[in-house]
Amino acid sequence: MKADRLTLVESGGIKKWACLTCPGGCGEVINLSLNPNQRPRWRISEDFWLRPTIHPSVHQKNECGCHFWIKNGQTTWCRGGRPSKPSKGEIDTCYRGK
């Protein structure tokens, strides 16, 4: 199984969105707003290898219902938030999108 990918959408040097495919296996694209003026919003940081850490956790409200943290590109499932068919749950690199 391939690692998931996360796309960082930047505009004017400001990170606006983090887009990733749900690691719960439902295939839905999750768009996380990084705009500090909006709620809810997330913070993202990258380590030396560009692996993302996202704060706070991501909770999907669809039928997949997964709830997870991403730390250094590794998905950590919350109690009760682990889907039945999770993907590999690794994000090796942040890609830059426009």
Distance, in Å, from the CA atom of 8 to the CA atom of 10, rounded to the nearest integer, reads 6
**DSSP output for 3-19:** PEEEEEEEETTEEEEEE
Comparison of 42 and 50: residue with beta carbon closer to Zn ion: 42
Of the candidate spans 1-9, 13-21, 55-63, 68-76, the one that interacts with Zn ion by CB under 5 A turns out to be 55-63
Size of the site for Zn ion (CB under 5 A): 6
Sign of CA dihedral 49, 9, 40, 61: negative
- Residue 64 lies near Zn ion (rule: CB under 5 A): yes
Q: Which residues bind Zn ion (CB under 5 A)?
A: 22, 24, 26, 60, 64, 66
